[in-house]
Amino acid sequence: MSAGHVGEHRVGASPGYFWQPSAVPADGAEAEADRRARAVWSALAESTDAAARYLWLARGPVEALSLALEGTIREIANVLEEAAADPEAERLHVTAAHESMRIRNARQAAERAKAAWSERAGEARNVLERSRESGISLVRPGEVGWVTGLTRLGINAPFALWHAGSRGGLEERKAVALVGSRGATRYGTSVAYDFAAALAEHGVRVVSGGALGIDAAAHSGALAARSVHEGGGGTAAFLAGGLDDYYPRANAALLTRVRGEGGLFSEAPIGARPTRWRFLSRNRLIAAASEATVVVEAAWRSGALSTAAHADALSLPVGAVPGPVTSAESSGCHRLIAERGAQLLSRVEDIELMISGASGVAGSVGTENPADASGALPLDVELLGPLDRLVFDGIPRFSSIGVRELATQCALDREQVRASLARLELLGLAENSGHSVRRLDVKSA
């Protein structure tokens, strides 16, 4: 079935894909149904759920939700097969750490997805009401507060964007992502703070992830400039968990200030805790929301490098700040410059040239396959497939977890999790006692 025929089946939306404003009902009962469906899906499925994205691709959020909760395995499988014919399905790889997520066996994918969605259905139903009570709103493509750059992600765009704080900002001005190591040095935090302050003074919005280290310095610098220069660029943060519980706790006061100066964003609903895969998938949002990505300080295998890989995959400029050759926290930046063609940045004017579209500054950063360029996975686990990586990251670092709880958390069925755990046990990465699962002591994990 052609992509055009797939689109004809969408119900309750204008022609177009779910990430395009033209496909989003603007008012009335259709708009409310679309809003509610997007909210429920944000809790029902992880951003890495290929089956969910296939249903959205073929049917849009409302009919997809009906299929997920009430449809039979056969009905879901048939729609997955239809969606597979759409060229957009080839672009499905939500995180730079994941291989292509294209579905090959529709029946098997439908069975697993249906089981996973059923586990989460109860907690997903009232997520919109609970969010409103917490002052958190859902923003859809085309609405005030939607980050227009996210449309660049196509099929990998978020199901919904949860927002807390002031409306407007990211869509009104240029934005630059400043990211880097959580264990930053004094040199790195100083550069991030100064760059962010200068950019904000010039009316550029500073985007980051709210983490310790470089992220915190970037947010702080932008906030300081905003307080001195009325109308400055301000800052916004994309978080990996729900907006009802700030993470990390040490940055709670800072994130409260960011909430009022550009806002907090997340694709995860309230109650969702940050996890390794949510951090990695969140990075694509930071990259897409910005005109350029700047890595201020990063180790050889820093998660910030995945943000750079996403920006490059979207043909957006990437820059890196050099550091001392003796500093392990700058080795990732040197890697971007030497191996990936990132623009070397030594002053804020270099960034301004980058986002102004000056020729010769937006070189290619990475390879054709974003998975090859992420550099974010520890050596002991970087050879794991996408599913095994998801399960491994779902196991707590310092405690155990039941198989059922792990399956629900990862949005997988229990048979998938058991099969994955068997592979992890063979690799010496996990131990399954039958009642609970725990990580084994892997130094580099």
Q: pLDDT tens digits for 363-412?
A: 333 333 333 333 333 434 555 777 787 888 888 877 789 988 888 888 78
- In sequence order, the 6+-apart residues with CB closer than 8 A to the CB of 35 are 128, 138, 140
Among 115-129, 159-173, 175-189, the range scoring the smallest mean pLDDT is: 159-173
Among 20-34, 51-65, 143-157, 219-233, the range scoring the smallest mean pLDDT is: 219-233
Q: Are residues 394 and 363 in the same domain?
A: no
Give the tens place of pLDDT for each residue, 242-278. Answer: 999 999 999 999 999 999 887 999 999 999 999 888 8
Distance CA 245, CA 272 (A): 9
Q: Are residues 10 and 103 in the same domain?
A: yes
In a domain, 156, yes or no: no
Q: Are residues 115 and 182 in the same domain?
A: no
Distance CA 25, CA 422 (A): 46
Length of the chain: 445
Q: Is the pLDDT of residue 226 over 80?
A: no
pTM score of the predicted model: 0.79
The DSSP secondary-structure symbol of 358 reads -
Locate tokens 């894909």: which residue? 17
Full domain range(s) for residue 54: 3-131
Domain boundary among 77, 108, 131: 131
CATH number, position 283: 3.40.50.450
Q: What is the mean pLDDT of residues 116-120?
A: 92
Give the tens place of pLDDT for each residue, 311-333. Answer: 988 889 999 999 998 999 999 99
Q: Are residues 90 and 187 in the same domain?
A: no
The DSSP secondary-structure symbol of 248 reads S
In a domain, 208, yes or no: yes
Closest listed residue to residue 98, CA positions, set 54, 57, 43, 50: 50
Which one has a higher pLDDT value, 94 or 338? 338
* % the chain with pLDDT above 70: 85
User: How much is the mean pLDDT over the chain?
Assistant: 84
Residue 208 gets the label, from left (phi > 0), alpha (psi -120 to 50) or beta, of: beta
Amino acid residing at 305: L
What does the buried/exposed string (b/e) look like for 38-75 if buried means 16 or more CB atoms within 10 Å of the residue's CB?
Answer: bbbbbbbbbbbbbbbbbbbbbbbbbbbbebbeebebee
